[in-house]
Structure 1
């Protein structure tokens, strides 16, 4: 299948030798950023991954569900094989297209793999009067430390979109604790939440906002059944943009003064120079969730951070091949990077 012309940005594979970089080129049949975002999520062939679910009680008496790759006994990795941890995006889960692709890749490499669900994202509403949010590095800290304590091999962490943002925040804020992770990857991360929020509030990108709000409002209504009067029901139902919803629900439930305060505190760009774990930050320059001008450059990150900013890919897309397309490029890029920092495969 013919592909688009190679991107020319100096950040397309920055900080790494050319022969080590798997460069992304979008298929010609996916010409736009929106097509490169929507088609992978809705139409791509998804690998089949069997999961084993485990429920953890949280320190604050809530719960989260983790989905582990269910290996056949004959193909189970050794206990000291690498563990690949994937934090999903807004309203995502272990069934999201990118999660299935990367868990299938982990299985193929003989690694352990797990997708921890943020609260309310596993198919069951959580107990407490809260959900999850872009700045919740404390949740990631607790999850990764518990996984590190019980796993005998190297730990590698990745996050997509919201999950990538929370992971980057943890890497920048918890420097004394991040040695438990050998390497990390953040994919399609909205590192400037104000810029991303504005991008999602205009034009065709409102399609994504409406999709998010449909499930977020459903969860919010369920939370009001648990906690009547927790927030303004009518204001929540009338929310049109992510800012509207965050102003009424996300910010007050998680200790922020308002949506602006939440978005400012959730923005990870100022923390990127503090990251001291090898970290890949992958953003398409045509991501409809974040304008190109908001992406970091080499001067904005620490020497341990590798930036890869291909011209195309959309948001968490990076599809290849003829229609209906394949999802293997993203896994190859992430696992190719992470494999450099472990002794296995």
Structure 2
């Protein structure tokens, strides 16, 4: 196990994050990142199935001619896809590095409708395990690295904590994940966060649920369609459909934070201190995590923002940071 000094040395070797001097505040840094959308990488789509075997799942690949290059899989955030700003930026960097890349979509994301009797949620660590097992089967010889963003990051961290040494990836990165879901849910119910982010996500969530309602266990569709916040949605849909008593039971049982001390694979846990989705006071501390977890908490960056550089800025800092962290596993020297 690495010592605390070794962990700090490894973190110190990562690129320093600096936002553009004019881009101030967590909300601005979160929203502006979406305007920096890079060109689409050269994806190759493969359609497989989820863990239930009842719905199709798109895997969008970045291919390489190097047979032993690492494979980096990305698990996206709520209503994300391979075309989210962070996914394009990371997979473009993967292509430039000559690695194999993959964005594995959650049910109903990536342009393929969900036909399973369940959807996806922050605590679905079993689905993460299914995806990683699929990738191990397809590429048994490659080092396998996993990155999860926001919702996908919490699910990945939960999986890592639950499986310990048996986790199927060699290393991981968890980015802007609301690992303290109860605290994050309160933050998203308040003030500007509620007004900004709830309409953004509900714009796509509500039509999906309306279209797919017949395939799910019983729930109150009218209550879902009246949702005005993510808490409303989770209480009316996510909780009853996935076996939770209510939203608070869901947030408590799905949160990855209590499991972080059980992670046994090298894991970068990256959260900006001004992330609107995750209060700084709720961010994990050294006492909350195992010796294999590297806490990186820059003061700025927003929620999966991390725009850097001058002028209008760019999104290269996050991919460069993740690849630098994973390259240490490939070549520790």
Same fold, TM-score > 0.5, yes or no? yes
SS at match of 2:192: helix
Query: Is the CA contact 2:11–2:296 (under 8 Å) kept in the aligned structure 1?
Result: no
For the structure 1 residues 44 and 61, does the alpha-carbon distance in structure 2 shift closer, same or farther, using more than 3 Å as the test? same
SS at match of 1:15: helix
1:191-270 to 2 correspondences below 5 Å: 191-206=179-194, 207-224=196-213, 226-227=214-215, 230-270=218-258
For the structure 1 residues 332 and 233, does the alpha-carbon distance in structure 2 shift closer, same or farther, using more than 3 Å as the test? same
> Match of 1:30?
23
> Match of 1:165?
154
Unaligned segments of structure 2, at least 5 residues: none
Question: C-alpha distance in 2, partners of 1:187/1:214?
Answer: 24
Query: Is the CA contact 1:285–1:311 (under 8 Å) kept in the aligned structure 2?
Result: yes
Question: C-alpha distance in 1, partners of 2:324/2:36?
Answer: 22
Deviation at 1:79, TM superposition (A): 2.2
Deviation at 1:292, TM superposition (A): 0.2
- Deviation string for 1:108-164 (max 9, x for gaps)? 111000000000011122112221000000001011012112212100000000111
Query: Is the CA contact 1:125–1:222 (under 8 Å) kept in the aligned structure 2?
Result: no
Deviation at 1:241, TM superposition (A): 1.5
> Match of 2:118?
130
SS at match of 1:175: helix
Deviation at 1:177, TM superposition (A): 2.1
Give the aligned CA root-mean-square deviation in angstroms.
Answer: 2.0
SS at match of 1:339: helix
- Deviation string for 1:77-99 (max 9, x for gaps)? 32221000000000100000000
Deviation at 1:21, TM superposition (A): 2.6
SS at match of 1:56: strand
Query: Is the CA contact 1:82–1:344 (under 8 Å) kept in the aligned structure 2?
Result: no
* Residue correspondences, number: 326
Question: C-alpha distance in 2, partners of 1:324/1:149?
Answer: 42
Deviation at 1:61, TM superposition (A): 2.5
> Match of 2:283?
295
- 182, 188, 199: which one aligns with 2:176: 188
